[in-house]
Chains A and B, each alone.
Chain A
Amino acid sequence: MKIKVKIKNKEYEVEIIDNNQGEVNIKIGNNAFNFNSNKTIANPEIIPLIDESIIFKKEVKAPLSGVVSEIFIKEGDHIKKGDKLLVLSAMKMENEIISESEGKIKKILVNVGQKVKEEDMLISLF
């Protein structure tokens, strides 16, 4: 059974597998955990040391309302954590939006000069 769990605005896909032998396996992304009445074991073979935010963050939203004044990336670009994405002029300040995850730019949903509202989607990633 797969279910979606939202924790602090972040959505996780959780797969719960009951092996009918008193053991439940829960998979979250590439992480898997086994549970039964006596023990809780994290399966060491398939737990990669990857920051979850890198796996799950597939979009960049406007942190505040403003006007897009500069875009540093183009569709198809590979980006990594900390890369400059765009500048949002808002509240009399220049706000440089940086990437918190790595991936490839799927779509840039805004143009220079465009007004955006807080939480508007700016960029989607593959």
Chain B
Amino acid sequence: MKYFDKIDSTNEEAKRNMYEPWTVLIAKEQISGHGKGKESWFSPEGGLYFSIILPKSNFDDLQTLTILAAFIVAKNIKEEFSLEPLIKLPNDVLINGKKICGILTENIIGENLKLSVIGIGLNTNIKSFPQKLENIATSLQIETKKEINNDEILNKIVLDLKKQFKSIII
């Protein structure tokens, strides 16, 4: 695990440096967190923003893992906080129609696959959103009225992703 106080985005950091597979990059705050198509992801302190370097795999397996990641996040939200998440495939998890988690897998490809990274932004301890986002985004803290343990949920998601990855590869 590699921690950053403030960074452009954990996926960008992953693409800049060749980390070993299963290295987890975690940021307290992202300056330019983004989703698919460079759509920005509001990433103030309090949220959980992390990227996992994936072992080199074929594109089908990486796609499957991306989709499974949404299920893993949704499962953990449901089990831990008794909320009813909705998965909007392939990249988002919603609560009460508002985005709570975004997932983005990025690959670097030359003559072969050089790097794969899956980035997850989960709104955990975010007390409020800017006006333009308040109707479309929510956080676990807003939904549960409780302080969330980021490390605990991070470890559960990483562990589940590793398990799923092994099951896909076999």
In the complex the two chains form, is B110's CB within 8 Å of A95's CB?
Answer: no
Give the complex CA separation of A91 and B106 in angstroms: 11
How does the 8 Å CB contact mask read for B110-133 relative to A, with 1 for contact and 0 for none?
110010000000000000000000
- The A interface, classified by DSSP as helix, strand, loop or mixed, is strand
- The B interface, classified by DSSP as helix, strand, loop or mixed, is mixed
B104 close to A (CB within 8 Å) = yes
Given A91-B59, A91-B63, answer yes or no on A96-B37 (Cβ-Cβ < 8 Å). Answer: no
A64 close to B (CB within 8 Å) = yes
Beta-carbon contacts under 8 Å, A58-73 to B:
63-64, 69-70
Q: Which residues of A contact B38 (CB under 8 A)?
A: 70
**Chain B residue nearest in CB terms to A65:** B59
Query: Within the complex, what minimum Cβ distance (angstroms) separates A11 from chain B?
Result: 14
With beta carbons under 8 angstroms apart, the residue of B66, B91, B106, B111 that contacts A95 is: B106
Among B59, B60, B62, chain A packs the most CB atoms within 10 A around the CB of B59
A93 close to B (CB within 8 Å) = yes
Give the complex CA separation of A91 and B59 in angstroms: 8
Q: Which residues of B contact A89 (CB under 8 A)?
A: 36-37
Q: Which residues of B contact A100 (CB under 8 A)?
A: 110-111
In the complex the two chains form, is B104's CB within 8 Å of A94's CB?
Answer: yes
Q: Which residues of B contact A97 (CB under 8 A)?
A: 109-110
Give the complex CA separation of A96 and B109 in angstroms: 6
30 chain-A/chain-B pairs, Cβ below 8 angstroms:
A53-B111, A63-B109, A69-B37, A82-B110, A89-B36, A91-B62, A92-B66, A92-B67, A92-B89, A92-B90, A92-B91, A93-B62, A93-B105, A93-B107, A94-B36, A94-B106, A94-B107, A95-B106, A95-B107, A95-B109, A96-B15, A96-B106, A96-B107, A96-B109, A97-B109, A97-B110, A98-B110, A99-B110, A100-B110, A100-B111
Q: Interface on A for B, CB 8 Å cutoff?
A: 53, 63-64, 69-70, 82, 89-100
Given contacts A89-B36, A91-B59, A99-B110, 15 further A-B contacts (CB under 8 A): A82-B110, A92-B66, A92-B67, A92-B91, A93-B63, A93-B105, A93-B106, A94-B105, A94-B106, A95-B106, A95-B109, A96-B107, A96-B108, A98-B109, A98-B110
Q: Interface on B for A, CB 8 Å cutoff?
A: 15, 36-38, 59-60, 62-63, 66-67, 89-91, 104-111, 114
